[in-house]
Chains A and B, each alone.
Chain A
Amino acid sequence: MSDLPKSDELFAGLDHKPQKKDWMDTPVNIRKGMYCYSANPASMETLGAPFARKWNPLEEDWKLPENWQEIIHNGFRERLDRFRTFKVFMDICVRCGACADKCHFFIGTGDPKNMPVLRAELLRSVYRNDFTTFGKLLGRVAGARPMTLDVLKEWWYYMFQCSECRRCSVFCPYGIDTAEITIMGRELLNLLGLNIDWIATPVSNCYKTGNHLGIQPHAFKDMLDFFVEDIEDITGVNTEPQYNKKGADILFITPSGDVFADPGTYTCMGYLILFKYLKDKYGLDVTWSTYASEGGNFGFFTSHETMKRLNAKMYAEAKRLGVKWILGGECGHMWRVISQYMNTLNGPADFLEEPVSPITGTKFENAKSTKMVHISEFTADLIRHGKLELDPARNDNLKVTFHDSCNPARGMGMFDEPRYVIQNTCNHFYEMPANTIRENTFCCGSGSGLNAGEDMELRMCGGLPRANAVKHVRDKFGVNMLACVCAIDRAAFPDLMNYWVPGVDVTGVTELVGNALILPGEKERDTDLRGEALPGMEEDDAE
């Protein structure tokens, strides 16, 4: 990480003009800081992934199986037959270039192979060679090239420089979705055991212990207990949650990152406060689960099958506990999976009820089949019905802007719910420029399993467009807090802000709720959940 260039140097070195030489003649240069370490074989073996072995991306020999080309070819064919998206997207791109400068990785690195169109061409060129008439007849002239070791390495390097954020697909006149291409590309690479460790190990952990971080059940409880103590210190109220409780009304699932590391932990404290409030006021019966203690799903970054194997826990646990429906915490790709895959993969969830808020009576019609509601939808509805007693002034030290996380934005369409919650819990809210939010939002640069430490330069490059927009509101309005509804954002943004926009902190939306919500019987708070003095309390603090 010490190799990371200074931010102004990195910025000055940016050049978006591609070199003269044809891209097919430009071999991949796997550069330190821009890639993640290869998967630990032990983690691969947990789920029986093929060709688990030790290999090093920087070495010439990747220890591939002898018939690797055949495996790729057959895997390619199988996916063309299974996914209309893949087949259509391989054929219809006209290379108009509308997507070129939409990718945060291209904007941040200037590497032309990070233009979405070219990322897809890496696969298309092989597709043409293997599966199309013109490609077979004309070869290179038709944009075809055979699958070689260099091509494979290029695939690996660039499939793991895409965070599947789908921003390019918004601008594509045919809706070509590079996330879909990357998903297929990574599935193919996984057929050869070419995963990265930052994905493979969380997947293995999640499978065995229920969450990515490998937090065992008793430790999970310990960690929440710790937050309960902290909250009691601040508010004087005991917010102890329920675990694995049969017959609870609602099962709550959130990414384990919220339990594990700052500033996600404060969001987690927000959940505890909210549930305590609702329990005391309205008798809401929520349970956490240690078995389904992961909302995120790094299986999604491995293969559809792995996604399904990890996701199965949510419904299975809801069924075992006999809850009515599931409430989901703040997470990005978790919500892409829930919103667009879960019901198809592991449904129908006919053992659950159509979600209704027991407090307001609101039917969540939009979730009536999946039976899983987002915490921001749930909270926005409570606020709208005046069910929460809030003191937004407790967030007055904060000038907040909101980052739309890619997946809830472009894979779910959730824009106004979290904004409504923020605007009711904070008095100072400022939007970033219109072309960088909502469906045009920029990725944090670390999504889809790329938030490791060894690829810090890649992450700082990929997060540049987002950071640049935050810088704009910091300079213009004095924004000092970046809110988001994604655990990877909360893990990735602090580094990104320190690098590009020092002075801006990161928060989950529910942390803001936790600060503003007035618990029944609470003592006068003098700090927020982070232990920082509340507005007007600073002097007391100094004494």
Chain B
Amino acid sequence: MNVKYMFSFMAVILLFLLAYAGVEAAGLQVVFGIIIPYTALAVFIMGFICRIMCWASSPVPFRIPTTCGQQKSLPWIKQSKLDCPDTNGGVVLRMILEVVFFRSLFRNLKLRVKEGGKFYYGLEIFLWVGALAFHYAFFTVALRHLRFFTEPVPFFIKILEQLDGFFQFGLPIVYLSGIVLLAAALYLCLRRMLSPQVNYISLAADYFPLFLIIGIALTGILMRYFAKTDVVAVKELTMGLATFHPTIPQGIGGLFYVHLFFVSVLLMYFPFSKLMHMGGVFLSPTRNMPCNTRAERHVNPWNYPVEVHSYEEYEDHFRELMIEAGLPVEKKE
């Protein structure tokens, strides 16, 4: 049994019990329905901003983009504008591909040792597919949930819901995003547990958010399709939060509070964890800088003078030998 994921698993179970018992046994609806969500949101926003500010406060002394394609050089050599952009526009495109399509992850190759001692590097797209599915499903789910915080519900959310429920099976209609989110999170989790290399590098901090998100997806799916939560009452609560007139309506079960608590924990955990890759991906100097290092001078704000061995010192040291060898010198004597 792996301590790292057991620890994270137990932590999520504990959080579940805390919220469920807190509401069902101790009647702490106000705590779990109002105080914690507000706190979580505040921590998330403040924490996120602080972390970005903290990163931004360190300068970028050198321009060190990773050049993943042909540089701009002679006019007849075709530059790879996306992988080695020399303009800001090119960098924006490179970043869009990175952030929206996970381009670098798409490059992933898997090493296989073939018979006869040959290495082979084959395309390995499962991580890329899993990551894309996970992030887009999560994004869709989050957007869909705006329904709970707006009145009237904006048209684009309605369209999104229709697209999400495109296949029109089940009652209520099954939203694909929720199912994909759960499946992708489970895949990423199983990959972490079963792939020996990934398992070896994983920390408890890698399992915890996965379990938490699986918990969020599971409780959401349970509420929508099985436990039949009173949606009208839930919306009353969420609208109360959104309009800063929080209320605790009657008839909402413990499961909802668990769901809300999980989301709150995720928000609070976010700024202090690796989940900040969401902000960090924009700040990575190997990707977000133009590859024009020889054409434009980059200035290092803390560049300081250093001691060098000057030509004069060099010539003083070697003058006789240089003269003897017929090498030109500054001072003949």
Asked whether A and B interact, the reply is yes
Provide the residues of chain B in CB contact with A85, threshold 8 Å.
Answer: 60, 64, 284-286
Cα A364 to Cα B76 with chains together (Å): 12
Given contacts A291-B311, A344-B298, contact A97 B198 (CB under 8 A): yes
Provide the residues of chain A in CB contact with B56, threshold 8 Å.
Answer: 84
Given contacts A14-B113, A81-B58, A369-B294, contact A312 B306 (CB under 8 A): yes
Q: Are A344 and B104 within 8 A (Cβ)?
A: no
Q: Are A384 and B303 within 8 A (Cβ)?
A: no
Q: Are A210 and B314 within 8 A (Cβ)?
A: yes
Q: Are A143 and B61 within 8 A (Cβ)?
A: no
Cα A89 to Cα B277 with chains together (Å): 10
Provide the residues of chain B in CB contact with A132, threshold 8 Å.
Answer: 272
Contact with A along B65-81 (1 / 0, CB 8 A): 01111111110111010
Provide the residues of chain A in CB contact with B26, threshold 8 Å.
Answer: none
Is A443 among interface residues, defined by CB-CB distance under 8 A? no
Given contacts A174-B280, A341-B62, A439-B67, contact A369 B295 (CB under 8 A): yes
Is A238 among interface residues, defined by CB-CB distance under 8 A? no
Residue of B nearest to A81 (CB): B58
Is B327 among interface residues, defined by CB-CB distance under 8 A? yes
Provide the residues of chain A in CB contact with B293, threshold 8 Å.
Answer: 339-340, 343, 370
Contact with A along B269-303 (1 / 0, CB 8 A): 00011101100110111110001111111111011
Q: Are A175 and B287 within 8 A (Cβ)?
A: yes
Q: Are B111 and A107 within 8 A (Cβ)?
A: yes
Contact with B along A63-103 (1 / 0, CB 8 A): 00000000000000000111111111101111111101110
Contact with B along A406-429 (1 / 0, CB 8 A): 000111111111001000000000
Is A166 among interface residues, defined by CB-CB distance under 8 A? yes
Is A527 among interface residues, defined by CB-CB distance under 8 A? no
Interface-located stretch among B215-223, B236-244, B318-326: B318-326
- B145 vs chain A, min Cβ distance (A): 24
Q: Are B61 and A82 within 8 A (Cβ)?
A: yes
Q: Are A309 and B60 within 8 A (Cβ)?
A: no
> Which has the most chain B C-beta neighbours within 10 Å: A94, A368, A377?
A94
Contact with B along A307-335 (1 / 0, CB 8 A): 01100110011001000000000000000
Given contacts A221-B327, A309-B306, A344-B298, contact A115 B201 (CB under 8 A): yes
Provide the residues of chain A in CB contact with B318, threshold 8 Å.
Answer: 209, 216-218, 290
Q: Are A244 and B309 within 8 A (Cβ)?
A: no
Residue of A nearest to B64 (CB): A340
Measured as residues with beta carbon below 8 angstroms from the partner, the interface class of chain B is 35 or more
> Which has the most chain B C-beta neighbours within 10 Å: A85, A309, A468?
A85
Provide the residues of chain B in CB contact with A94, threshold 8 Å.
Answer: 206, 274, 277
Interface-located stretch among B116-124, B165-173, B249-257: B116-124
Provide the residues of chain B in CB contact with A209, threshold 8 Å.
Answer: 314, 318
Cα A170 to Cα B286 with chains together (Å): 9
Is A142 among interface residues, defined by CB-CB distance under 8 A? yes
Is B63 among interface residues, defined by CB-CB distance under 8 A? yes
- A348 vs chain B, min Cβ distance (A): 5
Given contacts A84-B285, A101-B110, A410-B67, contact A344 B61 (CB under 8 A): yes
Is A245 among interface residues, defined by CB-CB distance under 8 A? yes
Is B307 among interface residues, defined by CB-CB distance under 8 A? yes
- A-facing residues in B108-151 (Cβ within 8 Å): 108-111, 113, 117-119, 121, 127, 131
Provide the residues of chain A in CB contact with B74, threshold 8 Å.
Answer: 362, 364, 377, 380-381, 384, 417
Provide the residues of chain A in CB contact with B72, threshold 8 Å.
Answer: 365-366
Provide the residues of chain A in CB contact with B70, threshold 8 Å.
Answer: 413-416
> Which has the most chain A C-beta neighbours within 10 Å: B131, B277, B324?
B277
Q: Are A411 and B197 within 8 A (Cβ)?
A: no
Is A193 among interface residues, defined by CB-CB distance under 8 A? no
Complex partner residue of B119 from A175, A210, A381, A465, CB under 8 angstroms: A465
Cα A209 to Cα B311 with chains together (Å): 10
Cα A438 to Cα B107 with chains together (Å): 13
Provide the residues of chain B in CB contact with A121, threshold 8 Å.
Answer: 201
Cα A338 to Cα B322 with chains together (Å): 28
Q: Are B309 and A84 within 8 A (Cβ)?
A: no
Provide the residues of chain B in CB contact with A210, threshold 8 Å.
Answer: 314
Residue of A nearest to B296 (CB): A369
- A-facing residues in B187-231 (Cβ within 8 Å): 195-206
Provide the residues of chain B in CB contact with A18, threshold 8 Å.
Answer: 196-197, 199-200
A-B pairs with beta carbons under 8 Å apart, 15 shown: A16-B197, A82-B302, A95-B201, A97-B197, A98-B108, A142-B204, A171-B107, A173-B98, A175-B66, A221-B326, A291-B311, A313-B309, A343-B294, A344-B299, A370-B294
Lowest 10 A-B CB distances belong to which pairs? A413-B71, A413-B67, A92-B280, A218-B325, A175-B286, A175-B287, A18-B200, A143-B203, A97-B198, A435-B121
